[in-house]
Each structure stands twice: as structure tokens, then as C-alpha cells.
Homo-oligomer: A and B are copies of this chain.
Amino acid sequence: MTDYPISKQNKVRQLREMAVYDRQVVHEILNSGLVAIVGFVQDGNAIVVPMIYGREDEKIYLHGARKARVVRLLEQNSSISLNVTLVDGLVFARSAFNSSMNYRSVTVFGEPRLVEDRAEKLHAMRVISEHTMPGRWDELREPLQREIKMTGVIALHIETASAKISTGMPEDEDDDYDIPIWAGVLPLESRLTKLQSDDRLLEGVEPSAVVSAMQDSAL
């Protein structure tokens, strides 16, 4: 796949050696995240809100209540950005200056569009559901007309994006390697653990194979 175009918006200026504009890398980070932090402008100021999302090719779908401020305002913004960041560990260097974190982060830029078409909206709702709970959509009853109406979906075509990935051990100043202090990495693992059943389950109902398979898996 080709790279995203580099523009004033997405050009990484600091720690450039960690910048990635590759579509596949951007897609993989978006696939791994659960929540996107979306930024939009209200009265000249930036507002940030977390939103659940799903990706299909170069399109990101976001959803909220149809009447939510974020849905109304996203529609009015000609360009928005969103960020998904996964922290992978703490990096203990031999100085505070070089101490940092390992992470995968992506910032996406695009023009938001309110999805009004019923078929596209339903499709977007499926994409978002499949992003966090793969296989679940087909096990659930069809969404009701009322539920579709109450859901606000924003589609964002990825115009450009950049990823930043930091991995591995600290990089210290040459002189600092002589300091007798421990240095290294403490990994941070985000893991889905064990299913907890709702106490109003009908008797004998068990989790399906697709739901069970999500247990004990790292993000």
C-alpha cells in the first residue's frame, strides 16, 4: 500500500525517525485500539471526546447519540482529527530527559460527514460493532427502527494520517551509560480477561464461540 500524503497537518516534526505514513501501519494501529479521541472546534476552541469507532478501508465510522453535541458539531467542522494511542510500556532511562514510554499512536485527519442514508448507517453500525466484538452482530437481533434513528453516525474518510511508534530500550547519552543505575523497560499489557455473566441470563444460556474466544487475549 502507498503512504499517506504528507501535509502541514500530519507532518511529524519531532522524533521524525519514529514517524510512519504507511497505510498498513496506520490501519493496524486503528484495528488494535478500542476508543478514539476525537477533536473538533466549538466557538473557536478545541474540544476532545472519546468515541467508539470502526474502520473499513479508508473510512472511519464514529457513533454517538443522534442528538449528541459531538455528532451535531462534527457535522459542522470541515476538518477534524482523531487519535488512537496504545501505551506498550514505560522506558526507564539513566536520566529523566531520556525516560519515556513505548507506544503506538496514530492521528488521522479528514472531513466528517453525517451518515443519513439508512442502509449506510446500518452498515456503519455493523462495522463499529465488529471492530470491538467480532462476530457478535450476526448473533444479535436486528436493530429496531427507533434505535437506528437515535444513533448518530459520522463517517470520516482518511485524507491523511501519521503514526508514531516507539519500541525497545532507552537511548541514553553516552556519558550516562557509566552511571550505576538500573535502566530498561516495564511492559504494559492490556488484556481482556474472563467473561462475567449478567445475573439476568436465561437458564442454560452460554457465551457463543466468538465471544468465548475473546477471553484471555491481549490487545
* A interface residues (Cβ-Cβ under 8 A, vs B): 8-9, 13-15, 34-35, 37-50, 52, 64-65, 67-69, 77-83, 85, 87, 90, 92, 94-97, 99-101, 103, 105, 107, 109, 125-126, 129, 132-133, 136-137, 139-141, 143-144, 147, 150-151, 169-170, 172, 176-202, 205-208, 211, 214-215, 219
Contacts of A65 in B (CB 8 A): 14-15
A96 to B41, CA, bound (A): 30
Instruction: With A39-B46, A81-B45, A87-B34 as known contacts, state yes or no: A201 contacts B182, CB within 8 Å.
Output: yes
Q: In the complex the two chains form, is A201's CB within 8 Å of B187's CB?
A: no
Q: In the complex the two chains form, is A192's CB within 8 Å of B188's CB?
A: yes
A187 to B96, CA, bound (A): 34
Contacts of A41 in B (CB 8 A): 41, 44-46
- Shortest A136–chain B CB gap in Å is 7
Residue of B nearest to A125 (CB): B96
A109 to B151, CA, bound (A): 27
Q: In the complex the two chains form, is A197's CB within 8 Å of B184's CB?
A: yes
- Shortest A38–chain B CB gap in Å is 7
Number of identical monomers bound together in the oligomeric complex: 2
Contacts of A137 in B (CB 8 A): 96
- Shortest A128–chain B CB gap in Å is 9
Q: In the complex the two chains form, is A197's CB within 8 Å of B182's CB?
A: yes
Q: In the complex the two chains form, is A191's CB within 8 Å of B192's CB?
A: no
Contacts of A50 in B (CB 8 A): 83, 85, 103, 105
Q: In the complex the two chains form, is B34's CB within 8 Å of A132's CB?
A: no
A188 to B46, CA, bound (A): 29
Contacts of A150 in B (CB 8 A): 97
Q: In the complex the two chains form, is A143's CB within 8 Å of B90's CB?
A: no
- Shortest A180–chain B CB gap in Å is 5
Q: In the complex the two chains form, is B37's CB within 8 Å of A129's CB?
A: no
Which 9 pairs, one residue from A and one from B, show the smallest C-beta to C-beta distance?
A39-B46, A37-B37, A39-B39, A39-B48, A97-B147, A182-B207, A50-B85, A184-B197, A45-B79
